[in-house]
Amino acid sequence: MSNETVMMLEEKIAEEKKHREALWQTLGQRLDQEFAEVVKTYAPDLASQLEASQAKLAEYQEAIYEAQGLIACPHCQTYNTSDSVFCIHCGSLLKQPQSDTGERVCPHCGAPVAQDHLFCSRCGTRIDEVSETGSEAPVIPEEPVHEPSAEMSDLPDWLSETSRDEPVMEKTEPQTHWEGPGYDDMTTLLVDESMMSDGEVLRCPICGEPVEPGQSFCIHCGSRIDDAPVEPEITSEPQTAVCPVCGQPVKEDDQFCMNCGAKLEPQAKQVTVEADPLVCPVCGSAVKEDQVFCINCGAKLK
């Protein structure tokens, strides 16, 4: 047997060994998936090594995502950019509110909120009357109830009956918050020139309180505020006439379609216009076609 034949057979043996190792690996993976508890019982050392190896792989992958500035959603584990407030897949809140310095924050988006504000200026969520520091809202003392004195009980029956028949004024609690629409059921309101008072002060269209430029929501009633009614810039392709029968492009001066022979009337020619860009219906931010939730305000898109 020549040396070339021996070398060829040795190469085939090496290839067959690699193929056999791959089969063993596939078989082991299937056994581990289908009979995990059995594998842990009969080969606990190998099972523990496999679990440790899997944990290292997950740790290394997590380090790669952190280096790329990505954060995992705590609900669906989808990775989002570090500046995202809501998950682009399930809409869950990514950053939990934190107030290490004792600062009052919104329980929904974590934005700082002043002590006298009832609504978050970022997402419009109503802030609970109990602040993050644990201080409760002031308690309004109840007025004392005056019991009838002994002198009143000695009055004649006709006079005491008259006193009892007099209408009693019901005590009304002072209004401590705005009873207007909340964040969930409100509609987007555009600010026009009537909302601007002397000195160009921007005011809320619902409660009339002043708001600062750039605020998305009123801090007094939670209504959505837009700085100005931005007219969308409509960009369209040059108008193209098409055949009303087969839809093929035709020239303006054509009397018959070159594709199907249909007679073309000037009023029957159709025009195709480019579709408008996709934006969030709540905050107006640009969104992608496959997004389920807005990453800016968390509104559901589909």
Q: Tens digits of per-residue pLDDT, 88-101?
A: 888 877 765 555 56
Phi/psi region, residue 200 (left: phi>0; alpha: psi -120 to 50; beta: rest), is left
Q: Per-residue pLDDT for 118 more than 60?
A: yes
At 122 the pLDDT is 75
pLDDT reading at 22 higher than 90: yes
Question: Torsion-angle region of residue 214: left (phi > 0), alpha (psi -120 to 50) or beta?
Answer: left
Q: What mean pLDDT comes out for the span 65-82?
A: 86
Lowest-confidence range among 63-77, 131-145, 149-163, 280-294?
131-145
Give the model's pLDDT for residue 52. 92
Measured at the CA of 291, the angle between CA 288 and CA 294, to 5 degrees, comes to 90
Confidence of residue 102 (pLDDT cuts 50, 70, 90): low
Q: What is the pLDDT of residue 111?
A: 77
Residue 175 confidence (pLDDT): 45
**Taking Cα atoms as reference points, which of 207, 206, 203, 227 lies closest to residue 215?**
227
Q: What pLDDT is stored for residue 17 in this prediction?
A: 95
Query: For the chain, what is the largest distance between any 2 Cα atoms, rounded to a whole number of angstroms?
Result: 139
187 confidence band (pLDDT: 50, 70, 90): very low
- CA–CA distance, 266 with 241 (Å, rounded to integer): 9
102 vs 100: CA distance, rounded Å: 6
Say which amino acid occupies 185.
D
For the segment 61-79, the average pLDDT, to the nearest whole number, is 87
**What pLDDT score was predicted for residue 235?**
52
- Which one has a higher pLDDT value, 218 or 199? 218
pLDDT of 20 strictly over 90:
yes
pLDDT beyond 50 at 133 = no
Residue 44 has pLDDT above 80, yes or no: yes
Q: Which two tokens stand for residue 40?
A: 């842990």
How many percent of the chain have pLDDT more than 70?
Answer: 65
Residue 78 and residue 87 in contact, taking contact as beta carbons nearer than 8 Å: yes
Does the structure show a pLDDT above 50 at 212? yes
Task: Return the CA Rg of the chain.
Answer: 36
Q: Which of 50-64, 132-146, 274-288 has the lowest mean pLDDT?
A: 132-146
Give the confidence band of 130 by pLDDT, cuts at 50, 70, 90.
Answer: very low
Alpha-carbon distance 31 to 38, whole Å? 9
- Given a cut of 60, whether residue 238 has pLDDT beyond it is no
Provide the pLDDT for residue 123: 76
Q: How much is the pLDDT for 96?
A: 58
Give the C-alpha distances (Å, rounded to integers) separating 228 from 63, 180, 196, 280. 43, 22, 11, 17
6, burial (CB in 10 Å: exposed 0-12, middle 13-18, buried 19+)? exposed
Mean predicted confidence (pLDDT) in 103-116: 77
Between 192 and 204, name the one with better pLDDT: 204
Put simply, whether the predicted model's pTM sits higher than 0.95 gets the answer no
